[in-house]
Chains A and B, each alone.
Chain A
């Protein structure tokens, strides 16, 4: 299995660490919504087909990637940076500081 990292290009799967289901939404850290936390920690879609998942290019650029992979065929239909908005917001905040 090859994953095409947007920075590094196609690399063997052994360079990557699977971080699991990318559909889960982490509640706000201050949230006391028990159901939301429970769903985040334990509930999985586990589809037979296209699966939205997070991989880290831990043996390369170390970026976290959002990968859509078919769990029946291992065919990968898209790879993008997982940090996307998240990262840019964080960066923006850091730049905002005087």
Chain B
């Protein structure tokens, strides 16, 4: 298996990069496993990696209907942060942040984690107060947060229009300096290689089409490559949660699938070296290492499995971009795409045992689950191995809605399109 080191990079470079080995095997499915994970996205792969590494469970298969990284792990805008308000979220995402800080080293795979900061702009004094509240809540739990003045913000992002004539004047901002971005494909590939190396079978082009059952208990899956049995079946399919759960006979979930779009411009010289978010609408932007501006906004706003977007949001995102950066008016957009997100009823994830015996469920990431990838995999592996949650994911149960224990960071109620 390919190990990466200064020496291997140099040696392969001198040989024209012709001798690199594939990063993971392409095994055929076995008849049975201890654990099957449905979904070869970031979360499924991280779960397999930590099952093997932390719990010694290596007789594991990850089943992916497409190719690795074809889902949201390869479609997101790569922002990583832990600037939440509610303690359950802050603790979970901060645990993830700490894992990001060591991830390249842990995986021996450069995930290009770049702590360039994430700045939320405030455009009214009330919004600034609200950010101060959030910043205090974060610092209370040991997470870094800093309020910034317009003058400081202008020094950080010279191209930003902070004049008082701006359509939405900037009155300040909340900065998390440890936040940033990571190379999303590398996260999937690094976890895949790490899991494969520990014996996990990663099986691509293998769609789960049904569940094998013994009474209520899930005992395996039917797939496009035959039946596969398992003691435990874990579901981590992001935007496909509704569809896959229906295969298990579960008709309704506290989930709606919505499309989120993202955009990239042509490459520019260094323009912005942080992640910035607009407070008067929904817009955020960073610059990729190749130079393209990577940005996005709201979900399209109605249930969709289309994996492509519609024009009204394109229009809205562009106008928000220009409200902040009038100077970008003539920069060309290179491409756009969409991903299907599983919007939950309170905007927070579900990582739990059940809902059927033998089944484990990881879903509800809305459009913020990339940053959760390490902690999602780590806590889900814990839950699968021990049949109980870790403290970090104990609040993220499926029945929290039923029990009145929602974790609604934005206070939007059961309105998935608003989270």
Contacts and interface: CB of A to CB of B under 8 A. Distances in A.
Is the pairing of A and B real?
Answer: yes
Contacts of B416: 44
B290 interface: no
Interface stretch (B21-29, B164-172, B206-214, B253-261): B253-261
Interface string A1-19: 1000000000011100010
Nearest to A38: B402
Given A14-B312, A71-B305, A44 B256 contact: yes
A85 to B, nearest CB: 25
Contact of A42 (B254, B302, B303, B310): B254
Given A18-B301, A43-B252, A48-B242, A74 B306 contact: yes
Nearest to A49: B305
B154 interface: no
Nearest to A12: B312
Nearest to B316: A14
Interface string B288-306: 0000000000000111111
Given A41-B414, A72-B306, A48 B401 contact: no
A60 B312 CA distance: 17
Interface residues of B, number: 25
Interface in B229-261: 242-243, 246, 251-257
A18 B310 CA distance: 14
Looking at A13, A41, A46, which has the most chain B CB atoms within 10 Å of its CB? A46
Contact of A71 (B253, B254, B303, B310): B303
B414 A46 contact: no
Q: Kindly state the interface size class of chain A when it binds its partner.
A: 20 to 34
Interface in B177-209: none
A53 B345 CA distance: 17
B417 interface: yes
A42 B345 CA distance: 6
Given A42-B414, A47-B246, A53-B303, 18 more contacts: A18-B302, A20-B256, A20-B417, A41-B414, A42-B254, A43-B253, A43-B254, A44-B252, A44-B254, A44-B255, A44-B416, A45-B242, A46-B253, A47-B242, A48-B257, A69-B302, A71-B303, A74-B304
16 contacts: A12-B312, A18-B302, A20-B417, A21-B256, A42-B254, A42-B401, A42-B402, A44-B252, A45-B242, A46-B255, A46-B256, A46-B257, A47-B242, A48-B257, A51-B303, A74-B306
* Nearest 10 CB-CB pairings of A with B: A46-B242, A43-B252, A42-B401, A18-B302, A42-B254, A48-B305, A14-B312, A71-B303, A41-B414, A42-B345
